Structure 1
């Protein structure tokens, strides 16, 4: 099952959004049946963001949304998503990369577009954890 949530984020809200998105991904990824997720910004329109999370099944997705901490941090974020399109999808076609080792990409290929500090989701996750400790 694939969760796809689209957001419109103003430049002034970007730092707070990335912190919240990183925390939401962290919480969901810790739930059984979650295969991981990511958040990304549109290349052509920096105000458009997407959060995607993969789950083993619809049941795993629903169970992942149940714990108090998820309801406290994830539900409010998802409530801000664009509701003009569907957010939950049944995975019908999945492609797995070959298992043979591939050479690592050259450093210039790792991130051709320079990252702004507000887009660093690892830093955003650390900000979220440090704010919770306070």
Structure 2
């Protein structure tokens, strides 16, 4: 399952945000069911960031959110309020 948390980050906070995003990824990486993750920044709207992670299932992701809440809390004001968990319907790897 795919989890996408988007953030709107003022340019003046981007360096601190990137460090905090890495801390969140490090926390997630230590949780059961974590497969991979990345912190990405929009090439078209530099204030828009995404924390994208992949999990073995939604239950793992939701439990990891609880475990990471302390490191995520300072960034909550920057989060875009929208659903973040997506189940795979089709997947394909590149060649």
TM-score normalised by the chain length of structure 2: 0.86
Distance 2:77 2:25 in 1: 15
The structure with the largest strand share of the pair is: 2
Q: Which runs of 4+ in 1 moved over 4 A?
A: none
The secondary structure found in structure 2 opposite 1:3 is strand
Please state how far the C-alpha of 1:97 moved relative to its aligned partner: 4.4
Work out whether 1:91 is the aligned partner of 2:69.
no
5 Å-filtered alignment, 1:3-22, equals: 3-22=3-22
The secondary structure found in structure 2 opposite 1:63 is helix
After superposition, the CA RMSD in angstroms is 1.7
Aligned residues: 95
Higher Cα Rg, which structure: 1
The runs of 5 or more residues in structure 2 that have no matched partner are none
The runs of 5 or more residues in structure 1 that have no matched partner are 99-134
Q: 1 or 2 for the larger relative contact order (CA 8 Å, sep ≥6)?
A: 2
5 Å-filtered alignment, 1:1-134, equals: 1-67=1-67, 70-78=68-76, 80-83=78-81, 85-97=82-94
